């Protein structure tokens, strides 16, 4: 079974631009979550999508947005990039049901804002 696939793996953008990252979940997983990892803040939850609807949201500004398609694939978008947005962005997918919330992560997209 294929794992979580994130594209692209690396990205360099200029301050003020926008960026779109893509995530394909494990087949059969309907929940997709996004996390940001930085050296200073660690792993922080951005948002979670299930059945094309955002169910949970972290404490990030509105410049960070996402969506999920009917095939469970997800994209996240960051507009008006700032230097501080440089980070590893991780996507995770989960089966949904009960208390178990094991999330399986992709390899991430390393975004550098210059």
Please choose, out of 12-20, 62-70, 75-83, 100-108, the segment that lies near another protein by the rule CB under 8 A.
100-108
In the bound state with another protein, the residue whose beta carbon lies nearer, of 28 and 102, is 102
> Could you tell me the smallest distance in angstroms from the CB atom of residue 95 to another protein?
10
Cα distances (Å, whole numbers) of residue 43 to 9, 16, 27, 65: 18, 24, 24, 17
In the bound state with another protein, the residue whose beta carbon lies nearer, of 9 and 15, is 9
| Alpha-carbon span 23 to 108, nearest angstrom | 9
45 touching another protein, by CB under 8 A: yes
Strand partners, 111: 11, 87
């Amino acid at each position: 079974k294929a794992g979580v696939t994130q594209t692209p793996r690396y990205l360099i953008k200029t301050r003020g631009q926008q960026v779109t990252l893509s995530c394909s979940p494990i087949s059969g997983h309907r929940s997709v979550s996004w996390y940001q990892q930085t050296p200073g803040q660690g792993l922080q939850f951005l948002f979670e999508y299930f059945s094309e609807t955002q169910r949970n949201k972290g404490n990030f500004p509105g410049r960070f947005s996402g969506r999920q398609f009917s095939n469970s694939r997800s994209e996240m978008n960051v507009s008006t990039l700032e230097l501080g947005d440089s980070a590893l962005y991780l996507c995770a997918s989960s089966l949904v049901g009960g208390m178990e919330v094991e999330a399986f992560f992709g390899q991430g997209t390393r975004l550098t804002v210059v």
